[in-house]
Every structure is written in C-alpha cells, then in structure tokens.
Amino acid sequence: MEQHETEAALLPNIANQMRSLLSNLYLAASQVIPPEQREQDPALDAKAAILEQSFFRLLRLVNSMSAAEYLSDSQTLSLRDADLVKLVSEVCESSADLAEQLGIQLKFVCAMDRRVCAIHPAAVEQMLYHLLSNALKFTPAGGTVTVDGKELSAMRDEELTIFRRRKIGFVFQNYNLVPVLNVYENIVLPIQLDGNAPDKAYVERIIETLGLEAKLQNLPNNLSGGQQQRVAIARALAAKPAIILADEPTGNLDSATSLDVMGLLGNGFPIEREGRYLLVGGGIGVPPMLGCAQYTQGKSTAILGGRSADKIILQNCFQDECAKVLTATDDGSLGHHGFVDALVRRELSEDRGYDGVLACGPKPMLRNVIYCGSMMV
C-alpha cells in the first residue's frame, strides 16, 4: 500500500512536466502549419485538425494523472485545510505558457488574498485543469465577440442589460419562474418587459410542441418539475433570441419531447423531404440528425460517432428511420475503430447518389467532414 501511494504521488509531478512538453509540441505544430496555410489548403487543414484533436486528448489524459494520488483501493477522498486561492493561482500560472502560445491571455483575479477551506487539493486541481483545457480549446485567439452585428465589448452596462434581455434566452436548471404568474404570463414576460407584443403564432407553436396547452392558466407551484422546465424553455424561445444559454434543458423531459426541444433550440438544416442525405453526428450532435432522418422518410444514411460504445446514443432510433446506420468509436468498442471521417470518405467514394452531407458535432469532426464532403464535387 505504501509503495502504491508513493507511486501515485509521483504522477501529478510527472503530469506537470508533460503539460510543458505538450505545450512545446503544440507550439511547434502551429508554427509548421500556420492558420493562413490551413485556410487555403483543406487537406492540410484536415490533417492539422487531427493533430489538434490528438493534442487535447493527450492533455485530458495528462490532467487525469493528477487524480492518481487519490485513486486508492478505498476510493475515499481525504480532506484537509488548504488555500484555495493559492491553488487556483498555481494552476493558472502553470497553464499560462500554453495559453500564451495559443494567443490567449490567461489571468486569475480574486478579491481575496487567501481562502482556507477543507478540500482535496489533487481532486480540485484535476477539475481545474479539465476546465482550463476545455476553455483554451474553444477560446479563439484574439478577435471580438459580435452578435447580430453588435460588438459586445463596445457596449455600456445599460446597453448590455438590454442586449441580454432581447438577444439572449436563458434556461435555468432551477427554472426561475415567477410564482405569482401563470404559465402563459411567464412565457411572454420578457417580451412584455421590453414593451413589445408577442408573436402569437410563434408562441402557440412553441406551446404546442412542448405540450403546455392544458397548463396555460396554472401557476408554477401546480406544475411538476418537468412541466416547469418546459415553461422555462418556452420562455427562453418566445422572444426569438440570437443566443440561448441552457443548463441541462432536457434533463427532466422524456426522450420524444427532448428531441422536439433540441430541434427548437437549433436552426435545423435546409433539406428536401424527397432528398437522400448522408447524416453525420458526433456526441451531442447526434440528436439533431434524427429529425433529419425522420424528415427524409428512411432514405438517408446515418454515421454516428462517439468515444466508446456507451457514448453512441439513439442508435436504435436511427435504425428505424434510416436506410443504413454506421458507427465509429475512438476505442473500437463499436463499429469502425477511429473517427467518423473515415466512414464518410468510404461512403462517399462508394455511393455518389447523396444530395448532400449534413453534420453536427465537435469542430474538429466538422472540419474533417467538410474535407471529405469536397469529394462529392
């Protein structure tokens, strides 16, 4: 046991050194394949996307090594007093070089100089590294944030308040409904606060999709948790926002309603009912593809991807709605061992009769699918 604990304690130190080496490798790769070359060469961009994907997977594995210290046979976390401010500061400092190489400025700002509390430092450190790696992965280098033609950094506080009310819909995990207003009044409240009249036809469509027609006069305390969540989703959609921020919006809904809600939250795809499409979904991008499969009435082919077999969702539903269903998993536990783009390439080379390729999933996957889709031209 003592030897096991000693070896486990060494792994977080090894992980820190490996992060530095990975950062150097990423920097070297970005210099060898600069962004401007990737934009001009789709084949090169696809290869660079694979490098990016592999880098962040390695980074996740390295971050997981930080947890080895507490993965003992007992599986218990021993808490001790530690300075949380200092811990977060050290994690940010160790990630600063990688952030700088990605063109991102990483700062940790805290109003407190010190905050001692009972935590398991290794577990908290691992969580922070996972959060930071995801943040760095999806944060663009430089640039501005523009929504509906308006740059957010140029807005004053009052303008941002109005912008949030008009352009951003929120779906909170605890619903945040106004208890003294009925269902319909809660749904149209943000619109009325802005001095506008609701689009009745649009609101009625949302209400019908979410199955709230019989509950419009009910107060929130007379609704179940799932019904309250539907009202919160309807309220977020009613104002036709440019962006929707949702915290587990389908967590309390049945699978059928969840699919309808996912369709409402997305923009959908311009497809023809008589068309025949190659539908590619990865991870959370799988559900939107099912609506496309249903719309084309069994003529399309679906390719579903995930890290492992247990991450492939809705496979049976796709088999009911598609002419053919193919799967790809990173670990080879189901279907093709590898990424979905290999199946896309194979399918398009064998069958040129598709009217288009529709895809939804992680950005690296989409890049590879775009490159493979160019084979149709």
For the chain, the first-to-last Cα distance in angstroms comes to 62
State whether 47 and 174 are in the same domain.
no
User: How many residues does the structure list for the chain?
Assistant: 377
Domain boundary among 224, 240, 265: 265
> In the prediction, which pLDDT does 303 show?
94
Residue pLDDT, tens place only, 91-133: 888 777 777 777 777 788 787 888 888 887 877 877 787 777 7
In-domain check, residue 147: no
Q: Which helix (H) or strand (E) is 325 found in, with range? A: strand 324-329
Q: Which domain does 199 fall in, by range?
A: 155-265
The total number of structural domains in the chain stands at 3
- Position 38 scores a pLDDT of 74
Pick the last residue of a domain from 265, 299, 330: 265
Residues 48 and 111 in one domain: yes
Q: Please check whether residues 257 and 282 belong to one and the same domain.
A: no
Answer yes or no: do 9 and 134 share one domain: yes
Q: Per-residue pLDDT tens for 2-59?
A: 454 555 556 666 776 776 677 667 767 777 777 777 777 777 877 777 777 777 777 7
Q: What is the pLDDT of residue 73?
A: 44
**Do 122 and 185 belong together in one domain?**
no
What is the model's pLDDT at position 145? Answer: 72
Q: Are residues 119 and 189 in the same domain?
A: no
Q: What is the pLDDT of residue 205?
A: 81
Q: 112 and 169 in one domain?
A: no
pLDDT, position 16: 66
Tell me whether residue 331 is in a domain: yes
pLDDT number for residue 74: 47
Residue 272 maps to a domain: no
CA distance 31 to 29: 5
Residues 252 and 305 in one domain: no
Q: Is the pTM of this model over 0.75?
A: no
Question: What does the pLDDT read at residue 114?
Answer: 87
Query: Can you point out the beta strands (E) in 93-179?
Result: 116-119, 146-147, 150-151, 168-171
Q: From 265, 300, 327, give the residue that closes a domain.
A: 265
The answer on 231 and 120 residing in a single domain is no
Whether residue 125 sits in one domain with residue 161: no
Residues 258 and 301 grouped into a single domain: no
Q: Identify which of 312, 266, 249, 285 has the alpha carbon closest to the alpha carbon of residue 366.
A: 285
Q: For residue 183, count CB atoms less than 10 angstroms from its CB and return exposed for 0-12, middle for 13-18, buried for 19 or more.
A: buried
| CA angle at 364 for the pair 361 and 365, rounded to the nearest 5° | 45
Residue stretches of the chain with pLDDT short of 50: 1-2, 4, 70-74, 267, 377
